[in-house]
Structure 1
Amino acid sequence: MTSTQPTAKKHQKAKGLKPGKPRPAKDLCSECGLCDTHFIHYVKQACAFLNQQFQRLETLSHGRDRNLDNDDELYFGVHHSMMMARKKEPLPGAQWTGIVSTIACEMLERGLVEGVVCVQNSPEDRFQPQPILARTPEEVLAARVNKPTLSPNLSILEEVEQSGMKRVLAIGVGCQIQALREVEAHLGLEKLYVLGTPCVDNVTRQGLQTFLETTSKSPDTVVHYEFMQDFNVHFRHEDGSVEKVPFFGLNTKKLKDVFAPSCLSCFDYVNGLADLVVGYMGATFGWQWIVVRNQKGQEMLDVVQDQLHTQPVISKGDRHKAVQQSIPAYDKGIALPMWAARLMGIAINKIGPKGLEYARFSIDSHFVRNYLYVMRNYPEKLSQHVPAFAKRIVGQYDLPES
């Protein structure tokens, strides 16, 4: 009898690199983990920082690339629906209400997938990522809370390939997902679901420590943090308290070199190649932003739909002036006194951009900063590395000449 099961494309293998060995992308390596495996053979094509292939991979993932003349798609990528949501019964210990963890658990419990690629903490360090191929809901729940450090999620691709699993859910950020899409056909899977989170400004573990010590009053008790829509960084501490530090009061001179070069040259803030994206950036405060990009994304959302409160996305305000004024602050490391930063944060929170317009504000600000970073540090890469949608977004603003 002839098997009708799909088989993995034959692929060539190369020996994965040992820890500490230089990576092909050099300083721009995002440590996604691909080079730790025999899939390193495909790194020249798969690595977003060696060979940007975003338009082709969008078509591969969603059947088409984004429409640059549609403002929502220009910014947020291919999608057929967006909404704001939160769980009716929040998941204890989750960073927000636990939508991502709940989707992964439900997919396992219903037999829709056999394993979930996710990231737990190492036993020694709550901020040190430890990728796993989770086989039980308990293992998924142990991966609750975002990890703000560079994480080698793809280091377990060989385990996925050798597991015999045919249906897998992978949770990851943009650079990881770009590489994963390039090697997806070689994994021997019948179905791969990709659940993404928006991502910007990750750091090395040492960089994280510098950020915490520079920004928080109690760096040793921080459990997690996020840059939120009220223009404050929210630090949640072990005792449950929340410390808020205004964006405009960050010590940008000390922090300017903290963020990874890969993050400073990334233009996939919204995780445009994932099937479903769950984050906060396009939602109002207290809600999560959900972007359904294709049918597999809808299948994932369907498993938790009855557990969610939902409402339509909104868009209020005008970001352009705020973005243009922020360029010198990003560029020259200007920081306000804390009292002035708090007042500015309060004012902008009242009259500033909300919902999708806040998301556009954040995208514009980071894309401009990153464009300048690539232009100054990797000018030979600028033309090919920056996707067409990012060039159009950055083109709205007056940039410093050098």
Structure 2
Amino acid sequence: MSPATDRSAHRKARALKTTSRRPAKELCSECGLCDTYYIHYVKDACAFLNQQVEQLEVRNHGRSRDLDNERELYFGVHQDMIAARKQSPIEGAQWTGIVSSIAIEMLNRGWVEGVVCVQNTPEDRFQPKPVIARTPEEILAARVNKPTLSPNLSVLEQIEQSGLKRLLVIGVGCQIQALRAVQDQLGLEKLYVLGTPCVDNVTRAGLQKFLDTTSRSPSTVVHYEFMQDFRVHFKHEDGSTETVPFFGLNTKELKDVFAPSCMSCFDYVNGLADLVVGYMGAPFGWQWITVRNQTGQEMLDLVMDQLETQPVMSEGNRHKAVQQSIPAYDKGMTLPMWAAKLMGVVIEKIGPKGLEYGRFSIDSHFTRNYLYLKRNHPEKLEAHVPEFAKRIVGQYKLPE
């Protein structure tokens, strides 16, 4: 049913959303769908009410992932992977600016008329403000990740109202699954999806607790990331970088800071995007690019002449480290800082790198999330956990 023929349902949905709780309740990731009249489709579209990654893979990529191929088991349907960085980085970008560059090229060449991305409010650099960018300047204003739950899809109503027909959407897994489920209702001629990997988002209050607990100067943090060297890297206003080893984080204090939706998510790698740009499968200092389909390849081709590239690599063995991390996280264990720094140095030298680090991260989060669902939402466990995630979790011994 198209938007043009669904006005009555939209009006009813608009009235409903102002008076009802969000259907996913505590598992709501605040993707923004329920803030629009497309809430009418939420029971089918929401990643936490109707997990349908495998079906949507077939619809958007032409097939589902090959579960007997370890790369696809972990990283989803893809036709190519590379490590890359811009030869001339964009000033102020979190990495080198590959995502922003692709979006700007698509807009400048007329491939799209708008780009759904996330700026921040004037009052708070970490408070997300979803927009439909129409100029390169508006795209650049959205550079740098906002590590908080963001209602990107709240702008969907503006798409129909503005008459846009060619659109690029930049988002994370839960947003993209909901978008893919309703994309045929948007009246678009062409939709492009540029994804980023995502794990462990927080509310704005949760972010503040993390910063206050972890950083030496919470008020000056510009951005941060959990990096491949097993440290959290904080960038400060004065340009300085602060690093904190994973193993020195106050796990007991921070254990409950992550959103329940993130604790229930198994789409870390954004399996439904056309093209995914992240970092976890690349060497330190590089970005990891996954091309899922021909549309994604065409998007990447726009900026290939701006990039330095190398093949993806994989080194080390993650299994022992993952198995040891499961009870450590479960019990909220934190090492003294001197021991955490020492362990970080050792693991950086001999631990998993490249794609193996990506698998380490996926294994660690999938086992944690499986336990969270089993304990808090056992009724959802069977239907909500995709088959690929069950296979990954099945490699490890979990506590009760």
Task: Say whether the fold is shared (TM-score over 0.5).
Answer: yes
Find the residue that maps to 2:126 and give its secondary structure: strand
Q: For residues 190 and 16 of structure 1, what CA distance do their matches in structure 2 show?
A: 29
Q: Which amino acid is the alignment partner of residue 277 of structure 1?
A: V
What are the superposed Cα offsets for residues 277-328 of structure 1, whole Å, 9 maximum, x if unpaired? 0000000000000000001101110110000000000000000000001001
Equivalent residue runs for 1:2-401 within 5 Å: 10-11=5-6, 12-13=9-10, 14-15=13-14, 22-401=21-400
Q: For residues 42 and 179 of structure 2, what CA distance do their matches in structure 1 show?
A: 11
When the two structures are superposed, what TM-score results if normalisation uses the length of structure 2?
A: 0.97
Change (3 A) 1:30 1:305: same
Q: Which amino acid is the alignment partner of residue 249 of structure 1?
A: G
Q: Which moved more, 1:162-171 or 1:79-88?
A: 162-171
Q: For residues 292 and 342 of structure 2, what CA distance do their matches in structure 1 show?
A: 38
Gaps of 5+ in 2: none
Q: For residues 16 and 233 of structure 1, what CA distance do their matches in structure 2 show?
A: 43
Q: CA RMSD in A?
A: 1.2
Shift of 1:160: 1.0
Contact 2:281–2:312 (8 Å) recurs in 1: yes
Find the residue that maps to 2:238 and give its secondary structure: coil
Contact 2:31–2:149 (8 Å) recurs in 1: yes
Change (3 A) 1:313 1:380: same
Find the residue that maps to 2:282 and give its secondary structure: coil
Change (3 A) 1:368 1:20: farther
* Residue equivalent to 1:3: none
Find the residue that maps to 1:309 and give its secondary structure: strand
Change (3 A) 1:81 1:322: same
Q: For residues 20 and 117 of structure 1, what CA distance do their matches in structure 2 show?
A: 27
When the two structures are superposed, what TM-score results if normalisation uses the length of structure 1?
A: 0.97
- Count of paired positions: 395
Shift of 1:18: 5.8
Identity %: 77
Q: For residues 189 and 126 of structure 1, what CA distance do their matches in structure 2 show?
A: 32
Q: For residues 17 and 76 of structure 2, what CA distance do their matches in structure 1 show?
A: 36
Change (3 A) 1:62 1:16: farther
Change (3 A) 1:240 1:343: same
Q: For residues 337 and 301 of structure 2, what CA distance do their matches in structure 1 show?
A: 44
Find the residue that maps to 1:133 and give its secondary structure: strand
Q: Which amino acid is the alignment partner of residue 399 of structure 2?
A: P
Change (3 A) 1:116 1:254: same
Contact 1:116–1:133 (8 Å) recurs in 2: yes
Gaps of 5+ in 1: 1-6
